[in-house]
Amino acid sequence: MTTRQCPYCGIAVSEERTECPHCHAAIPEIRLHRQHDFHSDTEIRKGLLYVLLGALIHYFAAGYSAMQLPFPIQPVVTVLLSPILFVGGLGLVLHGYYQRHRAYSHTVRYR
């Protein structure tokens, strides 16, 4: 059984108790959280932007649009570059969600 000190009178109190047996003061519950990781949010936003950009480039470069582009597009753009941009964006989105989940799962609670 672990103990902690009462913040008011200083005697040792069991971890499970919410009230000090000596001075009858309520012992507050302390929660330690990691600060929100804003880096994961920016990764998610960047990833979604790259996915959208890759899809738009592929849509117009592959000729799915009724609009004709005034300059020719090399086939390597539709075959290789736009799918790489799309998949890279998906990777950033998944990595951002993983980082966010990892930051929230390491929350520590103390009583």
Do residues 46 and 87 share a domain? Answer: yes
Do residues 67 and 100 share a domain? Answer: yes
Token pair for residue 111? Answer: 């009583």
Tens of pLDDT along 17-50? 888 888 988 888 776 655 555 677 889 999 999 9
Tens of pLDDT along 45-77? 999 999 999 999 999 999 899 988 888 889 999
Structural domains in the chain (count): 2
In angstroms, rounded to a whole number, what is the distance separating the alpha carbons of residues 79 and 40?
A: 30
Q: Which is nearest to 54 in space by CA: 95, 97, 96, 89?
A: 89
Do residues 73 and 98 share a domain? Answer: yes
**Given this model, what pLDDT does residue 4 score?**
83
Helix (H) or strand (E) run with residue 105 in it: helix 82-105
Do residues 50 and 75 share a domain? Answer: yes
Secondary structure class of 9 (helix, strand, coil): coil
Question: What is the pTM for the complete model shown?
Answer: 0.60
Helices (H) and strands (E) in the chain, counts: 3, 4
